[in-house]
Amino acid sequence: MRDPAVSILMAVRDEARYLEAALASIRRQTLRDWELVAVDDGSTDATTDILQQAAAADDRIRVIRQPPDGLVAALNRGLAACRAELVARMDGDDICHPLRLEEQVAFLRTHPDIDLVACRARHFPRPRITAGMLAYEQWQNAHLAPAAIAADIWVESPFAHPSVCYRRQRVLDLGGYLERPWAEDYDLWLRMHLAGCRFARLPGTRLFWRDRPDRLTRRSPRCSLEAFRACRLHHLRQGFLLRARKIALWGAGIEGKAWRRLLVGQGFEIVLWIDIDPRKIGQIIHGAPVIAPDAVRIRRQPTLITIGARGAREQVRRWAARQNLNEGRDYLCVT
């Protein structure tokens, strides 16, 4: 049997309410040469019946049933069963634009240097989307080029997981999805980044990302701010902080102090705070002095930028360029 152009990897549990709409959006794809590998992770509602009926009606759909072993196990089992070189992720409650697969497959075929391509995503239903989620959507969708994604990959997870299409072997070579105390997708993006993979995003909105109160990103401790900081630090220790013990933090606010607690708990020492607030400059916070940016003269320790105010990262980057500081060598933006 000839391999399809793309395998769609879907892991589901108890998605009967939305699953038929998700499947319909897959069947509407302009690219017809696909297979759907749907892993049913111990569903107790009508999900199993819906998938079996879909598979009976369309031989491009394959269903794998397993006990409720969890999302990571389901993703890895499905990934191992995918036959195509390219794998597009999809969730059982989201909707794909008809052009999604055609555009992502065409892009990866014509850009062999790119290992993963996402598309822009739009949350729905729109009236219930919070301001914070809208800001995150806008931030994600603004990052299209590989350089822009790489520059901000330590700030936040750059992709909606069900919006991506990647080269299957590249992910398998990195061990697939890993069971860790943080989100499995962000963990994968950072491992790919550290391995030298390159990412891109297409400008079209090709995924409609359902928001709901029981959404995993809202209720799982693996998607908390604390978990995401821990994820970043784990991977920073494989690269930027590999040989570091003493660290400077730019930003002595709430986020900076949260990073301090995490870093100190992992054996690092905060030796310097950088801040622009005149009320903080000259103080000693947790044993380290607070200085203004203009007082920074010598590169003695790596610096983490922990300020998330709108436009702050761009201001820091402009300042660092004037000081001949190199992002990724001297400093890194983590918020």
Q: Each residue of 273-327: pLDDT tens digit?
A: 999 999 999 999 999 999 999 888 756 789 999 997 888 999 999 999 998 899 9
Nearest alpha-carbon partner for 285 in 296, 270, 303: 270
Domain boundary (157, 192, 226) is at 226
- Statement: residue 252 has pLDDT above 80: yes
In the chain, % of residues over pLDDT 90: 91
- For residue 298, what pLDDT is reported? 57
Say yes or no: 24 and 101 in one domain: yes
- For residue 299, what pLDDT is reported? 62
Q: Specify if 232 maps to a domain.
A: no
- For residue 300, what pLDDT is reported? 73
The DSSP annotation for 247-275 comes to: EEEE--SHHHHHHHHHHHHTT-EEEEEE-
Number of compact structural domains in the chain:
2
Query: What does the CA dihedral 92, 96, 98, 100 come to, rounded to 10 degrees?
Result: -120
Nearest alpha-carbon partner for 91 in 3, 170, 201, 17: 17
| Amino acid at position 54, single letter | A
Nearest alpha-carbon partner for 62 in 44, 80, 45, 46: 80
Say yes or no: 78 and 186 in one domain: yes
- For residue 95, what pLDDT is reported? 98
Say yes or no: 36 and 163 in one domain: yes
The DSSP annotation for 91-120 comes to: -TT-EE-TTHHHHHHHHHHH-TT-SEEEEE
* Average pLDDT value for residue range 168-185: 98
Say yes or no: 102 and 67 in one domain: yes
Q: Which residues pair with 38 in a beta bridge?
A: 10, 63
* Average pLDDT value for residue range 239-268: 96
Residue 288 structure tokens: 């380290």
| Amino acid at position 260, single letter | R
Domain boundary (173, 193, 226) is at 226
Taking each helix axis from N to C terminus, what angle separates 71-81 and 184-194, rounded to the nearest 10 degrees? 60
Are 318 and 306 a contacting pair, CB within 8 Å? no
Say yes or no: 179 and 261 in one domain: no
- For residue 321, what pLDDT is reported? 92
Say yes or no: 219 and 261 in one domain: no
| Amino acid at position 302, single letter | P
| Amino acid at position 325, single letter | L
65: containing domain: 6-226
Q: Specify if 144 maps to a domain.
A: yes
Q: Specify if 234 maps to a domain.
A: no
